[in-house]
A and B are shown apart, each in its own frame.
Chain A
Amino acid sequence: MLKVSQPVKRILVPLISIFLGFLVGAIVMLIFSYSPIQAYASMFQGALGSMSGIGETLRQATPLIFTALGFSVAYSAGFFNIGMSGQALAGWVASIWVALAFPSLPTYVLLPLAIIVGALAGGFVGAIPGVLRAFFGTSEVIVTIMLNYVVLYTSTYLLQNVMPKSFRSSTDSTQTITSHASLRMGWLQNAFGGSRINAGLFLALIAIIIFWIMMKKTTLGFEIRSVGMNPFASEYAGMSSKKTIIMSMVISGVLSGLGGVVEGLGTYQNFFTQTSSLSIGFDGMSVALLGGGSALGILLASLLFSILKIGGLGMQTGAGVPFEIVNIVIAAIIFFVAIDYVIGLLFKQKKAKDADAGAKPEQVIHQPKGGTEV
């Protein structure tokens, strides 16, 4: 056992986790007789080897930052939001709808309007499980999972049956939005080799800062953390746990909705029939958990995640590793980062108790009522 101090441990543990993940991935590839070195080389080549690769990686990270922040806010209040896919999808559809309905409004009106409507749509879908839990004690896990399906099929129905025909280019997709509603910026795309990187990235960075300020510096963040850790004491202190849970779910939904907005107004420029729940919803959970719920952690984890995703494509084309193996490798890395708790046990912490005491209150994510460490 190694003796290290707490700050060192906090950096070392994720690094070792990532390393172990890559190691297991390499073993898997060896078993199926692919060259890990070649595969990882093409992974990093794909994700970071060119300006357009870097652009795509940043583009991929953008919605993940939003959904991860959304997950963290709800999680701090003791709420497990699995419904981010649906909330993001609602944001995506709503923003595209607005963009197509008023195509000729000037950018400074249309773009904010589309973004806000998308955010509100996400917030609305997020509010539903919040209200149900606050007033009827319904388990949010089931409600949010079910709402993912509701939103998924509703989005297809809206696209195919409710949207004016003129909005559509085919039965399965809408027209492309006008530049007035687009988050793309010519200079940015040019700087990054024509990738789909867009101004959503700046919005995401702003969101990280706002999230940090909200959780650490505001009374609302104080209430969210307090209710998440001890709802009884919070009620005693005059906080309304109902109000706080609903608020945190609305904020979570708004952030997830923005994740969908940047997909719509930034990445794809239209909406098309989705056959399954949006992966950014689930990946956002992983990112939040990997990032330990802290603002900086989420930023780094979202980058790692998108390197794996974008680089994974490179692995297929560059090293001929089939998609399935790529996913195993990605999963192995996530697995090891996620069980960093176990890896943390390798270190015998100096002054375990007090170092911990200093660190915990600063953290946004905690274990709700003796839950397991993630």
Chain B
Amino acid sequence: MTKSEYVVEMRKITKDFGGFKANDQVDLKVKPGEIHALLGENGAGKSTLMNILSGLLEPTSGEILLNGEPVKIDSPTAANRLGIGMVHQHFMLVDAFTVTENIILGNEPSHLGVIDRKKAEKEIKELSDKYGLAVDPTAKVRDISVGMQQRAEILKTLYRGANILIFDEPTAVLTPQEIEELIEIMKSLVAEGKSIILITHKLDEIRHAADRCTVIRRGKSIDTVEVKGTTSEELAEMMVGHSVTFKIPKAPAQIGTPILNVKGLKVNESRGLPAVKGIDFTVHAGEILGIAGIDGNGQTELIEALTGLRKVVGGAVVIKGKDVTNAAVRKITETGVAHVPEDRQKYGLVLQMSLSENLALQTYYQAPISHHGILNYHEMRQEALRLIKEYDIRTTNEQLRAGELSGGNQQKAIVARELDRNADLVIVAQPTRGLDVGAIEYIHRQLIDQRDQGKAILLVSFELDEIMNLSDRIIVLHDGKIAGEVRPETTTEQELGLLMAGSSKQAAAQEVK
């Protein structure tokens, strides 16, 4: 083996998607035993570059060296053989299978043609213990949390002998607690001599976890820097090409009339157990009400009930004076509601349809996109082009399938579609999940603009920063009930954290003092 300073060296990688260069002469050099961050705007070409390294895509040109040796990675199997494993942005697990079954899928250890499950389970348990992953190999994937599913993905790559691990936005779906644990896991992996490439939009994670960072902008590599000695502002500027404001200044709220009234609302989750246990709140025109809380405390069910996607079992939802409790989705939408759903791939988009059809998903049945049930595709395209321009959705053209947009641009498309409808009540869940800092700034500005135009905004987010920066008032949801209401000016992240964990408001205030 030739000794090289780098485990992975990607040289002048270019990937051309029918005339559009998602990667344009990109260079990436990863040292052994380091966590190497890959930073770039939405659609900059990070996933594409990593898909090339893991054998899912073939580069148009360029070469890849592992430990100084040129290699050809033409399939995921080849990548596996070379010790490269990838944990994808969107997990690739079979719900109905156990963790073990998922991990061994494709290269099942067998004895005389019979799968040796016990042996596999034992090996997986050992691996899991070694790196402190605490995954139960016998659990079904659909029964474990998102964080655990991700660890199953990590185990899968380790089980296949990966030496170079690629994480594509691993923290976008995790809670702050899980993120910390993941960073610990990654550190223990590099301590064992493995190398990690980490894609993330969160600059403080890079500062926390990574040793070096390569910045990509619009398909071109800009620079590779040591993380120590570089500030978040510098990283952000390198990434978007101009300076970025992290906290958007906003004028005091001009509170208007109540737009959304929720009274004694009760909602069950899918298995029929109570998820929202009788809550009351109001959102007024001209204000942003933030709902903070740890994932799984009733937020999802609350939003689904407000937008008509889930049955209300008790209480009432009143929008602009109209009782819309258990009304049909379209009726609620037409009352003047925009909704950016939490799960963008399941609810927000029809991935196989084109971007322009997706942008018309809420308006296809109205003029000017259709008349008397006949669609006007020309008009639909014109509308799409306008939204793409106005909301800076990075795409080759409006006919691209939504599934082929980069993760962040999928989100931008949904935000564009929803905010453009000029609804009086804007319900947004995790609006900036997976977005780069530039795009986050943009969407935050949009939300504040909407507020200043007198719209009522209900914001659900697991990101405390986001809640603190945007909200005029914050309610904290814990176990399906409101644990307390606070104002961002007078509260601290610490107090919020305690409320989210279930302390009462007085106790939380006490403790903070």
Contacts and interface: CB of A to CB of B under 8 A. Distances in A.
A229 interface: yes
B446 interface: no
A289 B16 CA distance: 33
Interface stretch (B30-38, B135-143, B359-367): B359-367
Nearest to A222: B364
Contacts of B348: 233, 236
A237 to B, nearest CB: 4
A234 B352 CA distance: 13
Nearest to B371: A219
A366 interface: yes
B173 to A, nearest CB: 18
Given A229-B350, A236-B339, A218 B361 contact: no
Interface string A205-244: 0000000000001111010011001101111111110000
Contact of A218 (B330, B351, B373, B399): B373
A226 B352 CA distance: 9
A239 B353 CA distance: 16
Given A222-B375, A234-B350, A235-B329, A357 B404 contact: yes
B284 to A, nearest CB: 26
Contacts of A237: 329, 361-362
B370 A357 contact: no
B396 A354 contact: yes
Contacts of A222: 357, 364, 375
Contacts of B475: none
A233 to B, nearest CB: 5
Interface in A338-368: 351, 353-355, 357-358, 360-361, 366
Contacts of B309: 235-236
B290 interface: no
Contact of B18 (A217, A220, A354): A354
Interface string A182-214: 000000000000000000000000000000000
B431 to A, nearest CB: 15
A252 B354 CA distance: 26
A124 B383 CA distance: 39
B239 to A, nearest CB: 26
A104 B302 CA distance: 64
Nearest to B308: A238
B339 A360 contact: no
Interface string B373-417: 111010000000000000000001001110010000000000000
B374 A217 contact: yes
Interface in B296-353: 307, 309, 328-330, 333, 339, 341, 346-353
Contacts of A217: 374-375, 377
Contact of B357 (A239, A355, A358, A361): A361
A358 B351 contact: no
Greatest chain A CB density within 10 A among B333, B364, B377 is at B364
A361 B347 contact: no
Nearest to A363: B352
Contacts of A233: 346-350, 361
Nearest to B19: A354
A355 B18 contact: yes
A353 B352 contact: no
Nearest to B370: A219
A219 B365 contact: yes
Contacts of A236: 307, 309, 329, 339, 341, 347-348
Given A218-B373, A225-B353, A233-B350, A238 B328 contact: yes
Given A217-B377, A219-B364, A236-B307, 5 more contacts: A222-B364, A233-B346, A354-B396, A354-B400, A357-B404
16 contacts: A217-B377, A219-B375, A220-B373, A230-B349, A230-B352, A232-B346, A233-B349, A238-B330, A351-B17, A351-B18, A354-B400, A355-B18, A357-B399, A360-B352, A361-B354, A361-B357
